[in-house]
């Protein structure tokens, strides 16, 4: 897969005719995957190259005036996921003031200039200034293929709903709708090292603009230098050691006790364990951490037995 970036609204032609699945694709969930499969099907049928066309930063940065808009899949991890889906191109359009204010006619002309011949979109896709463009406009200008509302176990799959699940700590259900565990990729940075003093060293993860699930303790898989480990992750404010204003994401990795500062790790959220709480003493916290670890290992054993 080749990645192409459209910066400062400088759209450019692509040599081969393109069938493009168009959208924000935050999460690259099961519904998005249906769009990709349809795009690949049409591309093979028509002899076109296949592409996923998305926007960066997320339009909410401009539309909702949220500078660091949290995402299920920021661009770097979205690129990793899409690169494994068998597409020819990933086209990333820089979403700026100009793109936000493009009329539907300007947007369509830009797509045609890029040699996009066919479009694949969801049933509710809108585009251009004030969302004035609809799939009807695309149908009039391109070979157009609409993907209907996608449901999984009678639940409509959408980025909005998955965000709600994560905000509730329901990472198990989020995994089902994403088709993979919800994952945060981040660099290990220097932390308070409180965990090390009580026998539970943690990797403090710089999560940047990833959407954090609900505060609390989670059973996770941590992938370090390509090696998977079991672990438990705390998201919260560390109230027992003095409340921290900023949310912290700290991972205790089972069986790993070495310096991994500046390493980039992947944390896959498997199950919510409990809420974060303030303990009366360090000893009480240690007791709870022993219980949390035992619970995680129990869950890991159950997962192994059900495979």
Q: Are strands 116-122 and 49-56 parallel, antiparallel or unpaired?
A: unpaired
CB 125 within 8 A of CB 22: yes
Give the domain ranges of the chain. Answer: 2-156, 182-306
Say if CB 194 and CB 241 are below 8 A apart: yes
Digit-by-digit pLDDT tens for the chain (307 residues) are: 999 999 999 999 999 999 999 999 999 999 999 999 999 999 999 999 999 999 999 998 888 888 889 999 999 999 999 999 999 999 999 999 999 999 999 999 999 999 999 999 999 999 999 999 999 999 999 999 999 989 998 899 999 999 999 999 999 999 999 999 999 999 999 876 665 666 788 999 999 999 999 999 999 999 999 999 999 999 998 777 666 778 999 999 999 988 899 999 999 999 999 998 888 788 888 999 999 999 999 999 866 544 4
- The CATH number of 2-156 is 3.40.50.620
The count of C-alpha atoms lying within 13 angstroms of the C-alpha of 86, restricted to the half-sphere facing its C-beta, is 10
Distance CA 151, CA 154 (A): 5
Residues 203 and 193: their CA atoms lie apart, in Å, by: 9
Q: Does the domain made of 182-306 have the CATH classification 2.40.30.30?
A: yes
| Residue 157: other Cβ atoms inside 10 A | 22
Q: Could you tell me the pTM of the whole model?
A: 0.93
């Amino acid at each position: 897969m080749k990645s192409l970036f459209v910066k400062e609204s400088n759209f450019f032609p692509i040599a081969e005719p393109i069938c493009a699945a168009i959208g924000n694709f935050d999460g690259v969930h099961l519904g998005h995957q249906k769009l990709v499969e349809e795009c690949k099907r049409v591309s093979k049928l028509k002899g076109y190259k296949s592409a996923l066309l998305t926007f960066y930063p997320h339009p909410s940065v401009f539309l909702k005036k949220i500078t660091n808009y949290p995402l299920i899949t920021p661009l770097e991890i979205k690129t990793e996921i899409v690169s494994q889906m068998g597409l020819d191109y990933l086209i990333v359009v820089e979403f700026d003031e100009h793109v936000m204010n493009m009329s539907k006619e300007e947007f369509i002309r830009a797509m045609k200039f890029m040699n996009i011949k066919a479009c694949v979109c969801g049933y509710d896709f809108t585009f251009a200034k004030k969302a004035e463009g609809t799939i009807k406009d695309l149908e009039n200008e391109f070979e157009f293929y609409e993907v209907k509302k996608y449901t999984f176990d009678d639940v409509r799959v959408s980025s909005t709903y998955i965000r709600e699940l994560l905000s509730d700590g329901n990472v198990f259900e989020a995994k089902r709708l994403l088709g993979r565990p919800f994952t945060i990729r981040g660099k290990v940075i220097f932390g308070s090292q409180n965990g090390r003093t009580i026998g539970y060293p943690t990797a403090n993860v710089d999560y940047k603009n990833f959407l954090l699930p609900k505060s609390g303790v989670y059973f996770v898989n941590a992938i370090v230098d390509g090696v998977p480990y079991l672990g438990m992750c705390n998201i919260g404010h560390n109230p027992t050691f003095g409340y921290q204003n900023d949310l912290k994401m700290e991972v205790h990795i089972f069986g790993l006790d070495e310096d991994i500062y500046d390493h980039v790790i992947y944390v896959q959220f498997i199950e919510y364990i409990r809420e974060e709480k303030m303990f009366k003493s360090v000893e009480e916290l240690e007791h709870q951490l022993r219980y949390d670890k035992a619970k995680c290992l129990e869950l890991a054993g159950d997962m192994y037995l059900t495979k």
